[in-house]
């Protein structure tokens, strides 16, 4: 997978994606996938209490720390001429709301920094 390999040029794009790019007479395509989760009001507090109770009941042998939210964005630029992946990066932010426009902007900046513009 692109996430596990440093050299991504050998990764091939699917024939469907290749046909979509070629039918639009476009050599390069940008694929972005965003995923994450957020909690409703009150849910995080309940999870903290649940984790504390588990810690007490197991005498500290097991406890869990809940995550408020997380946001992951994957970005990939594909090349229809070479049928491969030209660029791949991901951004993962824990305890950040995936529906917050500022969080997503930061992730896009992190992903494309040094690729489209110099690091500031």
The mean pLDDT of the chain is: 88
pLDDT at 3: 67
Tell me how many degrees the CA angle 102-74-23 measures, rounded to the nearest 5.
115
pLDDT in tens, 10-48: 889 999 999 999 999 999 999 999 999 988 888 888 888
Judged against a pLDDT cut of 80, whether residue 112 lies above it is answered with: yes
pLDDT in tens, 42-64: 888 888 888 888 888 888 888 78
Please enumerate in sequence order all residues whose Cβ is within 8 A of that of 99, keeping only pairs 6 or more positions apart, or say none: 38
Task: Give pTM, 2 decimals.
Answer: 0.76
């Amino acid at each position: 997978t692109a996430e596990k390999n440093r050299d991504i040029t050998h990764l091939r794009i699917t024939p469907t994606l290749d046909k979509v790019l070629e039918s639009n007479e476009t050599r390069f395509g940008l694929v972005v996938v965003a995923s994450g989760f957020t909690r409703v009001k009150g849910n995080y507090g309940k999870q903290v209490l649940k984790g504390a109770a588990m810690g007490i009941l197991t005498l500290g042998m097991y406890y869990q720390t809940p995550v408020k939210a997380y946001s992951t964005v994957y970005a990939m630029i594909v090349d229809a001429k070479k049928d491969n992946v030209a660029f791949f990066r991901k951004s993962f932010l824990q305890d950040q709301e995936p529906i917050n426009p500022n969080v997503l902007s930061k992730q896009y900046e992190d992903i494309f920094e040094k690729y489209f513009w110099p690091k500031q």
